[in-house]
């Protein structure tokens, strides 16, 4: 017969107190630890895959499991929402900082997710740490000190698995920072090569650049024969931008540092000029013009297929085409029959113009100016010297 007060629950039927903290007792459940380890390993794998695809692989890598895609495009939508509701100066500053800022934001997001991922795995293996962390925050802290190679020593891995994980996390943190720094150098190199031709074009095509202004300038300066060389240079430029911007789409968010300029408007200007030479202007070599039109159209198509489009493109009317033809005739060009040329030009421009305009709207940059200012040789208004006409070359 049992003694009074004795029972399976101890004296007086009360459960004995466990010496460990209540939180530690509740979380030492195999299911919780397995869940934490699974989530942590998933986060680490997603970050490693995204970092590899974004920085290392030199080709487009679409997919739904891309962290960079959601971070960049989501933050760009937020930046546009703020910028379009503020003063123009604030908008220009915000959009100008977005490209470089997005690269730094990606590094911060990748590191933060790696810290959380390793913290979850360490939480599942916390019995192999000394002293034993009592909550998830402590293991995330240990993961941060390991990944950032700080190593205060307040937690020490004692098991083989946690020691290996600490080494992997430190290697991963250093590797992520090194890859992003290399990525930034690559981005800025491609950006500078892109902008060099864009700024050079402004001297002949004005700002915003215009195909008719470009052709008028070459006629006025008597260098029409150099159009073929210009188209050849922009054929190479289009191929380089196609390769770099498709491989690293973040480059599209890097804006020109000059007024009334964008690489999209510059490309549209060259393609419009090439289309006019191919379809409307008689007596000029058409080979290089046709080639640059094909490569440039390919560039516009591939980038727009990545989803960098917004809104609906405008439509060029016959009246605007006739106005351009009038200006070209005054500049000294010999033109084909306008009725036949209009149909050919409209078909040629359809291959690139709607895509370029939609991309210009998405990135909120200067679009291609069709008519432009007549014989505007040099610079935007902010760069002009007072009292001097920019319509004439200063050496004539």
pLDDT tens for 105-149 read: 999 999 999 999 999 999 999 989 989 888 899 999 999 999 998
Give the residue, 312 or 49, on which the prediction is more confident: 49
Residue the block writes with tokens 């980038």: 303
pLDDT score recorded for residue 303: 92
pLDDT score recorded for residue 394: 36
Average pLDDT on 229-254 reads: 94
What confidence tier does 41 reach under pLDDT thresholds 50, 70, 90?
very high
pLDDT score recorded for residue 375: 47
pLDDT higher than 80, residue 39: yes
Torsion (CA) 377, 383, 388, 394 in degrees, nearest 10? -50
The Cα–Cα gap between 268 and 261 comes to 12
State the average pLDDT for the chain.
84
Can you name the residues that pair with 157 across neighbouring β-strands? 129
pLDDT in tens, 256-265: 887 778 999 9
Distance, C-alpha 374 to centroid of its chain:
34
The Cα–Cα gap between 128 and 303 comes to 50
Provide the CB-side half-sphere exposure for 331 (13 A, CA).
25
pLDDT higher than 80, residue 8: no
Characterize the bridge pairing of strands 334-335 and 281-282. Answer: antiparallel
The Cα–Cα gap between 270 and 237 comes to 11
pLDDT score recorded for residue 316: 77
Least confident of 21-25, 112-116, 326-330, 372-376: 21-25
Q: Which two tokens stand for residue 89?
A: 């100066």
Distances, alpha carbon 138 to alpha carbons 110, 111, 120, 133, 324, in Å: 20, 17, 10, 6, 70
Average pLDDT on 50-79 reads: 85
pLDDT higher than 70, residue 390: no
pLDDT score recorded for residue 372: 53
Average pLDDT on 94-98 reads: 92
List the end-to-end C-alpha distance of the chain, in Å, as a whole number. 123
pLDDT score recorded for residue 276: 95
Length of the chain counted residue by residue: 396
pLDDT in tens, 300-354: 999 999 889 887 767 778 888 999 999 999 999 999 999 999 999 999 999 999 9
Burial class (CB in 10 A: 0-12, 13-18, 19+), 396: exposed
pLDDT score recorded for residue 63: 66
pLDDT higher than 90, residue 191: yes
pLDDT higher than 70, residue 22: no
Which residue segments constitute the domains of the chain, with CATH numbers given? Answer: 30-181 (1.10.287.70), 206-251+259-383 (no CATH)
Average pLDDT on 273-286 reads: 93
pLDDT in tens, 216-229: 999 999 999 999 99
């Amino acid at each position: 017969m049992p003694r009074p007060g004795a029972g399976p629950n101890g004296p007086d039927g009360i459960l004995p107190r466990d010496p460990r903290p209540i939180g530690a007792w509740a979380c030492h459940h195999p299911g919780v630890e397995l869940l934490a380890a699974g989530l942590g390993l998933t986060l680490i794998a997603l970050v490693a895959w995204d970092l590899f695809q974004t920085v290392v692989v030199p080709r487009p890598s679409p997919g739904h499991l891309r962290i960079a895609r959601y971070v960049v495009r989501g933050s760009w939508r937020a930046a546009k929402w703020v910028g379009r509701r503020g003063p123009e100066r604030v908008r220009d500053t915000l959009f100008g900082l977005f490209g470089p800022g997005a690269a730094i934001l990606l590094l911060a997001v990748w590191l933060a997710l790696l810290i959380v991922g390793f913290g979850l795995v360490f939480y599942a293996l916390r019995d192999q740490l000394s002293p034993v962390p009592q909550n998830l925050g402590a293991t995330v802290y240990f993961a941060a000190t390991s990944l950032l190679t700080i190593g205060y020593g307040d937690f020490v891995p004692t098991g083989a698995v946690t020691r290996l994980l600490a080494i992997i996390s430190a290697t991963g943190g250093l590797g992520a920072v090194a890859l992003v720094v290399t990525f930034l150098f690559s981005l800025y190199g491609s950006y500078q090569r892109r902008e060099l031709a864009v700024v050079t074009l402004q001297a002949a095509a004005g700002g915003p650049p215009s195909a008719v202004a470009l052709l008028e300038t070459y006629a006025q300066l008597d260098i029409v024969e150099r159009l073929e060389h210009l188209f050849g240079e922009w054929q190479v430029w289009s191929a380089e931008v196609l390769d770099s911007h498709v491989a690293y789409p973040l480059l599209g968010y890097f804006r020109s540092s000059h007024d009334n300029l964008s690489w999209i408007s510059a490309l549209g200007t060259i393609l419009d000029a090439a289309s006019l030479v191919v379809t409307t202007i008689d007596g000029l070599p058409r080979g290089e013009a046709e080639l640059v039109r094909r490569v440039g159209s390919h560039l516009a198509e591939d980038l727009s297929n990545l989803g960098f489009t917004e809104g609906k493109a405008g439509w060029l009317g016959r009246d605007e085409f006739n106005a351009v033809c009038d200006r070209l005739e005054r500049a000294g060009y010999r033109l084909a029959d306008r009725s036949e040329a209009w149909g050919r030009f409209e078909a040629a421009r359809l291959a690139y113009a709607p895509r370029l305009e939609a991309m210009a709207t998405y990135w909120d940059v200067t679009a291609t100016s069709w008519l432009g200012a007549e014989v505007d040789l040099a610079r935007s208004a902010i760069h002009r010297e007072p009292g001097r006409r920019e319509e004439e070359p200063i050496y004539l």
